[in-house]
Amino acid sequence: MKTEILILLVSILSFTVHAQSIKVNDTDFSKGRLGFIQEITIDDVVKFHGHQCDGLVEGFRALQEALFYLYPDGVVDRTNTRIISKSAPCLTDAAIYLTGGRYQYNKFYIDDKLDALYYVQRIDNGSAVYVKRKEGIKPKVIDSLTVLAVQGVLSPCELKTLKIYEDDYARQLLAVNTWDLFDLYAPTKKTKMDWKPNKKNDYIKTDIMYKNGGECDVNDVAHTKLFLSLPPQPFHDAMINPGNMVLDVRTPAELKETGFIRNALNVDVENPNFQKVVNTFDRNKTYFVYCRSGIRSFEAMEIMQNMGFKKLVMLEGGILSWTDQNMPFFKF
């Protein structure tokens, strides 16, 4: 798609973007007048969609950028906005909730031929914008695993792997400015979308494909790669099997201050010698990794995976989650 990029350098944009909310203008009842101002947060969209995921966060943040351009006063008139979206359930739910678009009112439809995440338009003045993810932002492994997931071939543990990557990507999306994540493009005469609602209704709803699937059994993956996250009790039950290794990747100071999980080996992921130490480990073993909250353990597992380790399990929520659930913990 040949387009002209819009450069948005507005001094007040930083505050608006980092507010993690979108201000909307609605009517005050079913036959009411415009002027009912509300703040919509990512948590509101999560409740509507059913769960937080990378696609929902991506849609929310993409529309923050697009809607701020269309409504520079910072208040979005949801009675005056229409949108075309990709078919992913996360993206479409964000589109509908944030713009007020509905198919039956000719304000929303899906088109997977769209060379962007969304095409958003103000009805009153016809101004419109494409919002597209920047190259290199989304980890390629997510798309690769998603293709397999849609084919229905992923095991429960492989689905756990995909969730870990998606959750980490969602955290990244919430941590930076939207202009670092997305580009806005103004439609030209050649690229302007003709509003032609698509009546197709046989798109695959990926978020329910595995709803009756089995649980990941960490002890039943002898010949497959394992990169997953487990809550405290399942993490504990799996790590105690003979031959497994437990790695505490916090700093030695944290270890002495707060304590540790029994038999855990402390290897600080922030230490420059981390890879040198880990390189001496047996790559055929399963490693149970934890830190304070889960962020550094994910980083450590990525490093180890790139070094050839195939069986890696992270403590979901880190030692904070572990102690909150009164799991066995030892102090010096």
Say yes or no: 50 and 192 in one domain. Answer: yes
Residue 308 makes CB contacts below 8 A (sequence gap 6+) with 283
Say yes or no: 192 and 248 in one domain. Answer: no
Say yes or no: 277 and 196 in one domain. Answer: no
Residues 27, 100 contacting (CB under 8 angstroms)? no
Point out the domain boundary residue: 165, 187, 202.
202
Say yes or no: 278 and 239 in one domain. Answer: yes
Q: Per the structure block, which two tokens stand in for 16?
A: 């608006």
Check the CA dihedral 250-253-255-257 and report its sign: negative
Q: Phi and psi for 223 in degrees, rounded to 5?
A: -115, 15
CATH number of the domain encompassing residue 80: 3.30.1330.20
CATH number of the domain encompassing residue 320: 3.40.250.10
Q: Tell me whether strands 287-290 and 311-315 are parallel, antiparallel or unpaired.
A: parallel
Helices (runs of H) and strands (runs of E) counted in the chain: 11, 14
Residues 130, 111 contacting (CB under 8 angstroms)? no
* Domain assignment of residue 214, yes or no: no
* Domain assignment of residue 164, yes or no: no
pLDDT score of 17: 42
Selection from 22, 98, 90, 21 nearest residue 50 by Cα: 90
Say yes or no: 236 and 186 in one domain. Answer: no
Which residues form the domain of 131? 4-138+178-202
| Owner of token pair 């201050």 | 257
* Domain assignment of residue 155, yes or no: no
- Number of domains into which the chain is organized: 2
* Domain assignment of residue 154, yes or no: no
Say yes or no: 311 and 198 in one domain. Answer: no
Selection from 98, 126, 102 nearest residue 24 by Cα: 98
Say yes or no: 192 and 235 in one domain. Answer: no
Distance, CA of 247 to CA of 318 (rounded, Å): 12
Q: Is it the case that residue 332 has pLDDT exceeding 80?
A: no
Say yes or no: 192 and 271 in one domain. Answer: no
Say yes or no: 191 and 261 in one domain. Answer: no
Q: Is it the case that residue 201 has pLDDT exceeding 90?
A: no
Point out the domain boundary residue: 202, 218, 249.
202
Each residue's pLDDT tens digit, 232-247: 999 999 998 888 999 9
Contacts of 64-67 with CB under 8 Å at 24 or more apart are 64/16, 64/17, 64/22, 64/178, 65/8, 65/17, 65/131, 65/178, 65/179, 65/181, 65/182, 65/184, 66/118, 66/120, 66/129, 66/131, 66/182, 66/184, 67/22, 67/98, 67/99, 67/120
The pLDDT confidence band at residue 221, using thresholds 50, 70 and 90, is: low
Say yes or no: 182 and 308 in one domain. Answer: no
Say yes or no: 69 and 131 in one domain. Answer: yes
Q: Is it the case that residue 220 has pLDDT exceeding 90?
A: no
* Domain assignment of residue 134, yes or no: yes
* Domain assignment of residue 299, yes or no: yes
Distance, CA of 245 to CA of 106 (rounded, Å): 58
> Among the residues of 125-283, which ranges form H helices?
140-150, 156-175, 232-239, 252-258, 274-278
Point out the domain boundary residue: 186, 202, 218.
202
Per the model's pLDDT, the better-predicted residue between 1 and 178 turns out to be: 178
The pLDDT confidence band at residue 2, using thresholds 50, 70 and 90, is: very low
* Domain assignment of residue 167, yes or no: no
> Considering the chain, what is the average pLDDT of its residues?
90
Say yes or no: 96 and 196 in one domain. Answer: yes
Q: Is it the case that residue 7 has pLDDT exceeding 90?
A: no
* Domain assignment of residue 259, yes or no: yes
pLDDT score of 199: 83
